[in-house]
Structure 1
Amino acid sequence: MNAARTTVWIVGCLGPLMLAVLVVGCTGDPEADLVAQPRSPVPDVPVPSDFELVEKMSRSRSRGSWRTVDYLYRGGGEKFAVIRFFERQMSINGWRLVDKRFVQGRATLNYVKDDEICCITVYSSSTGWNGTYIHVDISPSGDTIPTGKPTKLQRKS
């Protein structure tokens, strides 16, 4: 009889605790590392796997080795996890962080690589949708834009 009471007590007390651990474990950890998409639309700028390109709000152009990218992604990743994702992944892809800002809920990470500048802005939706946006803007650095016209730097010389 005493063993039966002990068993009932263990099941009664530890059962709900085990269930709580299982439920919390299955909901995911917002601090967990995000995983890059296997094929990002921009090969040297990885994007977390649960983000998708918002095509009607995105555009790109290239000519030779010159390119501009203005892409908007939408997904469910937590904003600060996304920021950490880019801090890790961009350096792996040869980008060097030159500036990092956080202003009014928007994080902006500025990178350089060769003759390009990449500005990544991460922010939460303001429309009530519980998600995160990533804006990726890549452009040539000022003196490499192939317009045929002198750049601002060249005009001042």
Structure 2
Amino acid sequence: MLSLSKHVRYAFVFALFLLAGPAVAEPPLALPVVDQIVVRKGDRVMELYAGGHLVHTIEGIQLGDAPEGPKRFQGDERTPEGRYTIDYGNPGSSYHLSLHISYPNAQDIAYAHAQGRSPGGLIFIHGQPNDWTQSERVPGDWTDGCIAVSDEEIEALWRAVPDGTVIDILP
């Protein structure tokens, strides 16, 4: 069996690294200005539209701890269903950026009040918790009714989704 000196082996390994070239970081997700968001809760996807054309799909979105059915009351841990708008961004969020969803609307408020309850509020699209130190997302559905995406995805949404963007949240 051929035996190579230690120096020859190091030179060979170094040459392999040179041939492989430098590691190239993947560019950040870049999106055009988005004018409609469609969330399909059951499929765990968020579709982003510009000018009526699908421009990107975010898969594996995370929802509230009780993801089935529409949000009705404060504390039910459900994600709303219906048509809302993105009405402001929160750069000081407890999560890696967040975009506020205009829940509750007049129908949501009327339904909850008819039951003698509060509809809740403070529903956002947001990244992972600021104190989350793992490179992957928090596993499973874990929000209190919000829609969570990766930190890279919320950064792209932050740049591409202006206030007033329509969001349709479907079962």
Alignment TM-score, normalising by the size of structure 1: 0.32
Which structure has the bigger radius of gyration?
1
User: In proportion to residue count, which structure has more strand?
Assistant: 1
Higher relative contact order, structure no. (Cα contacts within 8 Å, ≥ 6 residues apart):
2
User: In proportion to residue count, which structure has more helix?
Assistant: 1
Alignment TM-score, normalising by the size of structure 2: 0.30
